């Protein structure tokens, strides 16, 4: 009998020696295969990435949640994991997809090597690791590779290997024989299947929300392949071997103060704005807000009574023409900001609020032009608030990450949002508008949600008083 939820939730971490070994395919396939068996699966992702959890979440039928010690702090990893395992209902098993190579962590001078790595998170979760190895260009050497990963850090429990991109029965036999001598169980062997390749673009995989039926078909097929290639019973037994966690589930209501009045806050969604952490919305609701979704591609008006707007990340450059064509909503967003309603925007949200994106008109809330860039800006940031805003008072310190191929012209001036280098302020603070390239998981700084909801509540009360 599988344990259902709680501190003893069965769990595994799916890792790899490097990026592009097939972690996402195997992890998503495991989620889909377990779900097809009738199990309730809690999907998770190590690191800040928004896209991979979209696929595992699609497979599980519940949100894929990120576990990133840089963004939220080590102390919150187990509680946030348990939140996912228990919400919206208790899970039978949790599958945690790793990031990069097993021991690759944050490259930042303020932390030790390996911080925020898959191995780090596996240790915080006391979870066994399944190593996905790309076997396409090796034979007996796979044993040396796996042996190195199994012995590099004694604190990491390597419970088994899934061989990926295996070429033939003979190839599989050689690999299994070599790993048998190494003493590491082989939990499965997946053949090369190029038809399961997930389309990508300039920032990585295409979000599941943008592929709709195609994404569902891919997820379903991944589940079938993993079910036929991996010993699911052995993986489940390994997951059940994880010991109980000495932590309580994260509770957003305990993290924030509640504002009166229940202000209505619109959060951008739909195919153009797919980047967001579930905890951000949960904190807004816990702080007293009524959260409603608005799709800037399709909705022509903001929800009635909108007192504030949150526009997160995504790929607006892919949908620029459609976003621009929705002139009605663009005008409503501009009018909302002009009335002094709080607006918080991250990355894609900044682009949407700008005067233009690649020459195409956007909302014009910010007098700035944005455009695609050949340069990828990517990395963790330790930032301090430059100006008082609806999100934070000046001097507030946060940890976030950047992930974009666009630039803003002119860049932030004196009233920037954040500073994390000597290059100067980043982002924009204009009245009740806060816009920045910095992505934040508010679970790491829950006071941001409290402050934003309080600002929206005041705005809503002011609007009622002047009707």
Which tokens go with 465? 């008083």
Q: Under DSSP, is residue 251 helix (H, G, I), strand (E, B) or coil?
A: coil
Is 78 in contact with 247 (CB distance < 8 Å)? yes
In DSSP terms, 264 is beta-bridged to 290, 306
Cis ω before 88 (30° cut-off from 0): yes
- DSSP code of 195? G
Q: Compute the radius of gyration of the chain from its Cα atoms.
A: 23
DSSP string of 9-66? -EEEEEE-SSTTSSHHHHHHHHHHHHHHTT--EEEEEESS-SHHHHHHHHHHTS--EE
Q: Please give the span between the terminal C-alpha atoms of the chain, in angstroms, as a whole number.
A: 60
Closest by CA to 45, choosing from 455, 364, 441, 465, is 441
Distance CA 465, CA 467 (A): 6
Which tokens go with 454? 């309080």
Report the alpha-carbon angle 437-442-444, nearest 5: 110
Strand ranges (E), 389-437: 397-409, 418-419, 428-430, 433-436
Distance CA 406, CA 357 (A): 9
- Give me the catalytic one of 347, 357, 363, 449: 347
Nearest-10 crossing angle of helices 51-60, 23-36: 20
Q: What length does the chain have?
A: 467
Which phi and psi angles does 313 have, rounded to 5°?
-90, 175
347 a catalytic residue: yes
Q: Under DSSP, is residue 348 helix (H, G, I), strand (E, B) or coil?
A: helix
Distance CA 342, CA 239 (A): 44
Is 208 in contact with 54 (CB distance < 8 Å)? yes
Distance CA 116, CA 13 (A): 14
Closest by CA to 391, choosing from 381, 402, 400, 404, is 400
Beta strand 129-134 with 10-15 is parallel
Distance CA 155, CA 98 (A): 16
Distance CA 272, CA 348 (A): 8
Which residues are designated catalytic? 347
């Amino acid at each position: 009998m599988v344990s259902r939820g709680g501190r003893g939730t069965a769990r595994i971490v799916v890792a790899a020696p490097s990026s592009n070994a097939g972690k996402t395919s195997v992890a998503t396939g495991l989620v889909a295969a377990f779900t097809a068996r009738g199990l309730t699966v809690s999907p998770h992702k190590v690191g800040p990435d928004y896209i991979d959890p979209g696929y595992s979440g699609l497979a599980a039928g519940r949100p894929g949640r990120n576990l990133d010690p840089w963004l939220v702090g080590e102390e919150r990893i187990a509680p946030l994991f348990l939140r996912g395992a228990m919400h919206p209902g208790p899970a039978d098993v949790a599958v945690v997809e790793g990031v990069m190579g097993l021991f690759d962590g944050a490259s930042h001078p303020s932390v030790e090597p390996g911080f925020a790595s898959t191995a780090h998170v596996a240790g915080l979760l006391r979870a066994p690791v399944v190593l996905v190895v790309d076997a396409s260009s090796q034979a007996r050497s796979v044993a040396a590779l796996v042996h190195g990963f199994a012995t590099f850090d004694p604190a990491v429990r390597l419970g088994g290997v899934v061989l990926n991109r295996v070429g033939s029965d003979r190839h599989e036999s050689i690999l299994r024989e070599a790993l048998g001598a190494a003493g590491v169980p082989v939990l499965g062997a997946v053949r090369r299947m190029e038809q399961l390749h997930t389309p990508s673009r300039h920032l990585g995989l295409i979000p599941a929300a943008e592929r709709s039926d195609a994404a569902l078909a891919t997820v379903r097929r991944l589940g079938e392949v993993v079910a036929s290639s991996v010993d699911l019973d052995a993986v489940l037994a390994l997951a059940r071997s994880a010991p109980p966690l000495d932590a309580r589930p994260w509770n957003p209501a305990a993290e924030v103060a509640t504002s009166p009045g229940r202000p209505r806050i619109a959060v951008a969604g739909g195919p153009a704005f797919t980047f967001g952490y579930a905890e951000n919305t949960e904190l807004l609701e816990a702080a007293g807000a009524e959260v409603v979704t608005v799709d800037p591609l399709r909705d022509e008006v903001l929800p009635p009574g909108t007192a504030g707007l949150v526009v997160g990340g995504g790929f607006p450059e892919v949908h620029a023409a459609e976003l621009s064509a929705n002139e009605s909503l663009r005008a409503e967003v501009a009018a909302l900001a002009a009335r002094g309603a709080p607006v918080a925007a991250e990355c894609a949200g900044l682009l949407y609020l700008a005067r233009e994106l690649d020459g195409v008109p956007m909302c014009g809330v910010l007098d700035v032009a944005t455009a695609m860039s050949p340069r990828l800006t990517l990395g963790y940031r330790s930032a301090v608030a430059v100006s008082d805003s609806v999100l934070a008072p000046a001097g507030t310190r946060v940890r976030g990450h950047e992930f974009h191929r666009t630039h803003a012209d002119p860049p932030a001036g004196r009233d920037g949002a954040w500073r994390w280098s000597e290059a100067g302020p980043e982002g924009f603070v204009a009245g009740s508008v806060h816009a920045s390239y910095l992505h934040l998981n508010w679970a790491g700084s829950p006071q941001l949600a409290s402050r934003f909801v309080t600002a929206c509540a005041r705005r809503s009360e002011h609007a009622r008083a002047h009707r």
